[in-house]
Amino acid sequence: MTVARTFDYRHVITLEETNLVGNVYFTNYLRWQGHCRERFLMEHAPGVLRALRGALALVTVSCQCDFFDELFASDTVELRMALQGTSDNRVTMAFDYYRTSGSVAQLVARGSQTIACMSRTEEGTVPVSVPAELRDALSHYAE
């Protein structure tokens, strides 16, 4: 079995991200997917990031997260993003969330996100192919 190369994003959890019970509020997991995706663009597809200032739009069409254990303030979480698949104008990424605060990384959640590549026009948004720079950058992270 081959293990996919992942793009890794580390985050230290703050009190701001927790609820009254003290654990991380569930919407933050989805927010971190966005952070991971944007860091990937910054590092591996900066032209795509620049194109977002123009007509290109990356529209999130679905996202989900399954939770296995809780995270708390001061925990370090590492998101490991891999390419799950691409089609005409869509990209699906898989996210594994690991608590890395201890001696052994512990899987605490797993999620995915699908984006559609669109172009803004006077008539509205229309589907466009996944930009070549993004397709090439993502190819190194295929599952």
pLDDT in tens, 12-44: 999 999 999 999 999 999 999 999 999 999 999
| Domain-located, residue 49 | yes
| Domain-located, residue 45 | yes
Cβ(80)–Cβ(132) under 8 Å? Answer: no
| Domain-located, residue 1 | no
Instruction: Note down the domain range covering 85.
Output: 7-140
Q: Is 74 left (phi over 0), alpha (psi -120 to 50) or beta?
A: left
Number of domains in the chain: 1
pLDDT in tens, 49-87: 999 999 999 999 999 999 999 999 999 999 999 999 999
pLDDT in tens, 109-130: 999 999 999 999 999 999 999 9
| Domain-located, residue 60 | yes
| Domain-located, residue 90 | yes
pTM metric for this prediction: 0.92
- For β-strands 76-87 and 56-67, DSSP reports them as unpaired
* Residue 14, domain CATH: 3.10.129.10
Distance, C-alpha 38 to centroid of its chain: 8
Residue 108 has pLDDT above 70, yes or no: yes
| Domain-located, residue 2 | no
- Which two structure tokens, joined as six digits, stand for 11? 């985050």
